[in-house]
């Protein structure tokens, strides 16, 4: 999995994921997201358009990061999830917990 981060004001980061998010790559995402959500009122958009696979470990990292961000007055949002990822979150009952947006621009605009 490839991860890149771009920072946007105010205090917002866009994390772009490419490849597979699974048991082997989830620790790298956890480390990257962990640094971002430790900031005061963190706002993180995770662009998942380039993910071709996500397992339960990856879902767990995303959900945990969102919870930690909310504890600090911020949020984590998913941008451009595939049909597979939307169905996965629906099946797990997490669609209402972790906000999903059609693209990064919309995720950045919504308050």
β partners of residue 44: 13, 76
- The answer to the question of residue 100 being in a domain is yes
Q: What are the tokens at 64?
A: 């945990």
Q: Is 61 helix (H, G, I), strand (E, B) or coil?
A: helix
Tens digits of per-residue pLDDT, 2-13?
Answer: 887 887 777 799
- Taking a C-beta distance cutoff of 8 angstroms, is the pair 82, 48 a contact? yes
- The answer to the question of residue 111 being in a domain is no
Instruction: Give me the pLDDT at residue 93, please.
Output: 92
Q: Which domain holds residue 9?
A: 2-106
> What's the number of domains the chain is made of?
1
Name the one residue in this structure whose structure tokens are 């995720």. Answer: 107
Region of 24 (left: φ > 0; alpha: ψ -120 to 50; beta: rest) is alpha
Tens digits of per-residue pLDDT, 16-70?
Answer: 999 999 999 999 999 999 999 999 999 999 999 999 999 999 999 999 999 999 9
CATH of the domain at 84: 3.30.750.24
């Amino acid at each position: 999995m490839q991860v890149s981060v771009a920072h946007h004001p105010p205090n917002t980061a866009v994390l772009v994921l490419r490849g597979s998010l699974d048991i082997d790559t989830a620790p790298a995402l956890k480390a990257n997201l962990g640094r971002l959500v430790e900031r005061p009122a963190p706002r993180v958009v995770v662009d998942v358009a380039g993910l071709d696979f996500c397992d339960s470990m990856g879902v767990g990292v995303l959900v945990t990061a969102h919870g930690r961000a909310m504890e600090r007055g911020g949020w984590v949002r998913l941008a451009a999830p595939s049909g597979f990822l939307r169905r996965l979150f629906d099946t797990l009952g997490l669609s209402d917990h972790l906000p999903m947006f059609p693209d990064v621009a919309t995720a950045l605009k919504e308050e």
